[in-house]
Structure formats: structure tokens, C-alpha cells
Amino acid sequence: MSVETLTLDLAKIRADFPGLAGGWHYLDSGATAQKPQSVIDATVNAMGRDYATVHRGVYARSANMTLAYEEARRKVAGFIGGAEGEIVFTRGATEAINLVAQSWGGANLRAGDRILISTLEHHSNIVPWQLLRDRVGVEIDVCPLTADGRIDLDAAARILTPAHKLVALAHVSNVLGSVLDVERAVALAHGVGAKILIDGCQAVPRLPVDVAALGVDFYAFSAHKLYGPTGIGALWARAEILDAMPPWQGGGSMIDRVTFEKTTWAPAPTRFEAGTPAIIEAIGFAAAVDYVQSIGLDAIHAHEAGLVKTLRSALQAMNDVTVFGPEDSAGIVSFVIDGVHPHDLGTILDEAGPKHQSVAIRAGHHCAQPLMDHLGVPATARASFGLYSDESDIAALIAGIERTKRIFG
């Protein structure tokens, strides 16, 4: 499917999203994506007509729901090129990274071991490692960025030593939209004997991902940025790594046999899913995968790349606007306006009136305060696209920026 074909289908695509009704200009998909009707219907049916618990019931509806739940696992795994036994359902990508830190990290890392992250990481790929550092004494190194805001893998090559046991990096920056050369990062990490974890939250909605081809060890992502429900995400990990990891939460489902003297564990991935799982959300997750695959990630990426190019060009034509990140950023554009705080811009853009349209952007530090320090700003304004975004969203944003600048004189 070409960009042109996708553009011609945009009216139909936008009609799939009830959250966009009324012509709302939604440019905050990097925070959370709107949901297509097919995902809404799947979750409503799972909550109502089809609802039952999974794994434990001997009655037919429970068996059917169990099949649907495990089919969701297969779909989510296949979406990123993995096998169903390699997908752990979590509350989101944040929990997925914490799972790795607490289970794999707690079992394998000791005082003096080192972890490499980067300047642009989301807090969810910083704080879990700091908690691990405080608990076991590992050291954390920070890879710098290139001048245009990419993770500097040349610098990473100089930093990495055999003392490094883990490299944890974002596939796509949630602020700058810069795309990591994952294959090179994997080669560098494995070259010193380290494992590598990739935060794929901003990548999976807009880039084809094949974890087996990339060679990563861990890959974390969430459903709600992929047009699915909140409250669920996934950790993919190589089967042999998952099999060797101890559980991190105890309770129902994750056990094999419980006595007061000793408990034995279920095999992975069940070992990491204590308690009643997010049944409804998993089914919605699978419906979101179906929807995205029906359009095609290559087409989505090409479409968003065209929008990024258009917006960056329009912003760069304003001499009082600073645009961050590389020219080929993936679906995300962050910027600041001289004399206008991003929060003020976001508030004014949200106001609808007879002569202006409401536009939703993100304004703040985007859970990336170390990156803000690096950029020398307290916050940025961020426009992030989805597969439903179009040129009218950009036009409304630019008009809103001009209006804001007039207000601020």
C-alpha cells in the first residue's frame, strides 16, 4: 500500500475512530492512541457477551475465553516476530521493564556490574535500573546523543566493556522521534557479552519489528499506544532467558504445586502472570494488532514520515521556533517557541472558537527530564502522529501556533 493509497483511505480510517468525531485535531498519539471501533467492540464483547474467567473453568464459556486469551498471546507474539511462549502479558511497558530489572536483574547482576542506558530514555527505562542499583550495587552508564538527537552508538562502542551486563535503549525516542539502529546496538552489546533490552513503545505503532531478526534479548511495549486498551502491555524475551528467570510476584496461576513447606513454579510465561490476568484487555490488544496489520506498518510509517516532513518544514520556517530531533524522526516532532511556555501553547491550542479549531498536543518533560536537561529547556511542545493523522491536523496546529504568538505579542 502506498502513501497515496493510505491518504485516499484517511476519511474511512478516521471514521473508524469515534474519539475523533467532530473533527478534533488529535496530535498526542505518542502519549496514547485513539481506539478504532473494532477494538472497542472486541473489548465490549469480551466484557459482556463472552465474559468468563480463563484457565480455571471447566464450563464451555471459560474454555472459549481461555482459547481467545491465548490466541491473543499468539497474535501479539507474531506481530513482533516472536513465539507465543516468549510473550508475558504485563500491565504495560513500564511493568515489563520492571519485571526484567527485578527478576532477571536480581538473579544475574551483582555489585560492580554495569548497565548502559542513554540520555534520551523515558523514566521507565531509567528508574527501574536505579532501584536495582540501590538494591544490589550495579553501576549505570549513560550513552550521549549525536548532534541531531540520536543515540550515539560510536560512543556506546567506546563505553562498553565486559563489565557491562545489560544495555537498555529506546527503539524510538518518545520526545525526539529518533530511531535506534537496533541491529548495531545488539552487535555492540553482544560483543561484550551483555544482554540488550529495547523499549519499543513508540516503535511498534509505526515501524515493522521482528525481534528474532533484530537479535534482541528483551523487547517491551504497550497496547494503548498501538490503538489498543490501557492496562496491558507485553514483555518479549528469548525463551531460554525466560525459562531461567525466577518469578517476581507470587499468587494464583503462576504456580505448579503449593505446600506450606515449598512451592514450585509454572513454566514461563505463566510463571510471570500471577493472579487473574487482564483478559478483556488482552483480547482488545489482539484486536488492535489485527487493525494495524490490516493497514500495514510500512504504509503507516511512510504516511507518518510525510507528515513529520511537512510539520518540521513549517516549524523551521518560523525564526522563533526551535525544532528538536533528526529530520527523519518517526511520527514525533518536539519544539519550543521563544517566549511561550509549552504549557501555555498547549492550553491555547485546546481552545476552540469561531475562528480557530481545538488541537491536542503534549506539553511538558514527557517523562524524560534528563533529556530536557540535555536540551537546555524545562519542557517542549510535542506533536505526535497516528495512522489517522492528516494534513488538516498540521494546518490547525500551525494556525494555533500563529494565534498563540499573537496573544503573547
Q: Which residues have a catalytic role annotated?
A: 367
Q: ∠380-148-372 over CA atoms, to 5°?
A: 30
Crossing angle for the helix pair 297-316 and 279-295, nearest 10 degrees? 80
**DSSP H or E segment with residue 307:** helix 297-316
**DSSP H or E segment with residue 321:** strand 321-324
Q: Which residue has the cell 510539520?
A: 311
Interatomic CA distance for residues 31 and 209, integer angstroms? 20
Strand, helix or coil for residue 314: helix
Query: Would you state the cell numbers that stand for residue 74, as one nine-digit string?
Result: 499468539
- The DSSP result for 49-61, as a single string, is TT---SSS--SHH
- The DSSP result for 68-136, as a single string, is HHHHHHHHHHHHTT--GGGEEEESSHHHHHHHIIIIIIHHH--TT-EEEEETT--GGGTHHHHHHHHHH
The answer to whether 167 and 189 are in contact (CB under 8 A) is: yes
Interatomic CA distance for residues 283 and 232, integer angstroms? 10
* Measured CA distances, 7 to 2, 4, 260, 307 (Å): 9, 5, 62, 11
